[in-house]
Amino acid sequence: VKLDDAPALEERSLYEVREKIYPRAVRGWFAASRWALVWATQLVFYGGAWLTWNDRQAVLFDIARSKFYLFGLVFWPQDVIYLTVLLIISALALFLFTAVAGRLWCGYACPQTVYTEIFLWIERVIEGDRNARMRLDKGEISANKILRKSAKHGIWLLLSLWTGITFVGYFTPIRELVSSTPGAWETFWALFYGFATYGNAGWMREQVCKYMCPYARFQSAMFDKDTLVITYDRARGEPRGKGAGKGDCVDCGICVQVCPTGIDIRDGLQYECIGCAACIDGCDQVMERVGRPLKLIRYATTHAMEGKRTRILRPRVLVYSAILGAITVALAASLWLRVPLKVDVIRDRAAIAREVDGGLIENVYRLQLMNTTEQARAFDINVTGLPGILVWGENITGVPAAETRMVPVRVRVDAATAPGSHPIEFTVRALGVQGVEVREGAVFIVR
């Protein structure tokens, strides 16, 4: 290759200025579904903090005292396994939904989608729909523009601030938060979360999904040819355009205008597509008007588009469902059978064994009793495992509600017990309550 044959090189940037997207309003079954989920999730989020249970906030994550309250349940740091299981369930549910019907989470329930939807609605009410907003942004600065822009940002900021306060209200009781001067950290996190809401839903929008969200990038690993994805029916639509000899697609461009990520679904499945189905609603509106069959854009599998048989209940879906079901049942059973008492036995290490009056051998243990209920309780401590073994002295201990007590316990056995270490078992039982009993193993050392 001679040097002058090389093509002329030009500098190309690997970064570009983002082009703002003006999604057009759309009505239809999928838009209504999304709004239903916006209402459901936000009622839970904004309202949940205000519910009361047992004279305290029903849902409260009290980090300072390491207690998580969820209605009647109180979780201690030792219960972190439940959080792990919950995360596993969430992940599996995500896999299952994605395998069946693509990015359902992204399109309907993800906070990024939900808050963007709310912010877009506010924007639309104040600035008008797509064309009006584009005109307003292009236009000169005017009183009208300043008024509308500041009204929009003002309402966005108020809503964001309230979101931040509600979020912090799950960690510091929300009634205290709003009725007194909040602490420095509460203020910081309320503003931080509020700012994140404002920034992500108001300014960043689809960029969060396109550039920041890892889930958006690994979802394709869960897709296969039987996954329902939003698909443009190329065979029916092409060649696009108006007039005789053309397909059903009239090339009105509404599917592009309603898209919150600014893509053209007619180019096929793209990583930017969050599966919100706005293009389905938009296209159906047009198809109805021009008198063509609906569902030119629809949820369809690759196999269906190729004219092959689609199998929704395939091994992948069945395995996900089976594991998800098993873990969910296990979690529910474990929560149902949970004993509201935790016991840790710590053997004294320096003093191995001591000889006491009457030739008995004594070992000392520290029992950490954690009363995980919200009532004060008395516990009876007993020990088994060796002939004549007994707890010496007081063996009933009171533990206040949701507190921990360290109880030194002396255990004595007969001097005739063989030297060496013997497994023993402590039984701690709540007095006056059925079924609150914990057994915990330990070791008794004679010499």
Partner 1 sequence: VSEFSSGFWDLYIALVTLVSIVACAVFLKSQSVRKVGAQSATTGHTWDEDLAEYNNPLPLWWSWMFYITIVFSLAYLVLYPGLGSWRGTLGWSQIGQLKEEQQQADKQFGPLYRKFAATEVEALLKSPEALAIGQKLFLNNCAQCHASDGAGSRGFPNLTAGAWQWGGDAKTIKATITDGRTGVMPPFGAALGEQDVKNVAQYVRSLSGLTADAIRVALGKEIYQKTCVACLGADGKGNPALGAPNLTDQNWLHGSAEPVIIETITKGRNSQMPAHKAVLDEAKIHLLTAYVLSLSK
Give residues in contact with partner 1 (CB under 8 A): 7-18, 207, 211, 348-352, 354, 362, 364-366, 406, 408-410
- E strands, 208-350, where? 229-232, 297-300, 341-347
CB of 95 to partner 1, least distance (A): 26
Token representation of residue 97: 């939904």
Closest by alpha carbon to 332, among 89, 170, 95?
89
Tell me which DSSP letter residue 54 carries.
T
Output 176 or 403, the one with its CB closest to partner 1: 403
Taking the C-alpha atoms of residue 392 and residue 423, their distance in angstroms, rounded to an integer, is: 18
The residues near 127 (Cβ < 8 Å, ≥ 6 apart) are 133, 136, 148, 149, 152
CA distance 111 to 160: 13
Helix ranges, 139-277 (H): 143-168, 174-179, 184-197, 206-207, 214-218, 234-237, 254-257
Smallest distance from partner 1 to CB 428, Å: 16
Q: How far is the CB of 407 from partner 1 (least distance, A)?
A: 9
Residue closer to partner 1 by CB (options 50, 211) is 211
Judged by beta carbon, residue 289 or residue 354, the one nearer partner 1 is 354
Residue closer to partner 1 by CB (options 181, 434) is 181
Closest distance to partner 1 from the beta carbon of 410 (Å): 6
- Chain centroid to CA 42: how far? 14
Least distance (Å) from partner 1 to the CB of residue 181?
18
Rank residues 365 and 379 by Cβ distance to partner 1 and give the closer one: 365
In the complex, minimum distance from the CB of residue 280 to partner 1, in angstroms, rounded to a whole number: 26
CB 390 within 8 A of CB 358: no
